[in-house]
Amino acid sequence: MMVSMAGLEGVEQPRQRSSATAARRMPAVEDEQAFKALELFGNPTEDEVRLPSRPESAATARRLTSCVVLRQWGLSQQTGEHAVLLVSELVGNAVRHTGARVFGLRMLRRRGWIRIEVRDPSRGLPCLMPVQEMDISGRGLFLVDKLSDRWGVDLLPRGKITWFEMRISDR
């Protein structure tokens, strides 16, 4: 599925890399970093992983997501790319807007679906804003809304869980 980014019409997009270039790029270094992240922080499919609320934690959350979706669950490259992007957006919101010291990441799989959750201690609700052509920020939930099949927020006694779900084909 090709998604055009609002406001980027007419902007030259990077050329697609050949599959040989893309294959050389990821496995060795990125797999090693992902496995180290799993070792250090834990597996978000087994229990909630708590990460410090700092911008660099988004990279850790992306590595964990990629490792689980692509390696552990064996899902498609496109599903992995979308999940990684959406996790990055939810983590970015938790880091920027909640004032939390830590946030939680959890990943669940059930027949035909995956669900990824980001928990933070703020009860402030995220807001899906209309996106204008020239906007340079505020597109995070717009992307979550467009690329996921469902998303939402569950309020907790202390905080909230912002989540998204994606349909998958079980083999």
pLDDT of residue 20: 42
pLDDT tens profile 27-72: 567 778 877 888 888 999 999 999 999 999 999 999 999 999 999 9
Q: Which two structure tokens, joined as six digits, stand for 3?
A: 């998604």
Considering the four listed CATH numbers 3.30.300.90, 3.40.190.80, 3.40.640.10, 3.30.565.10, the one that applies to the domain covering 25-129+136-167 is 3.30.565.10
Q: pTM for the full model?
A: 0.78
Asked if 64 and 73 count as a contact pair (C-beta separation under 8 A), the reply is no
Residue among 158, 155, 161, 78 nearest 115 (CA): 161
pLDDT tens profile 5-25: 444 444 444 444 444 444 444
Cα first-last separation, the chain: 21
Question: Given strand 113-120, what is the order of strands in its sheet?
Answer: 49-52, 102-110, 113-120, 159-167, 150-156
> Mean pLDDT over residues 127-152, rounded?
82
pLDDT tens profile 62-117: 999 999 999 999 999 999 999 999 999 999 999 988 888 999 999 999 999 999 99
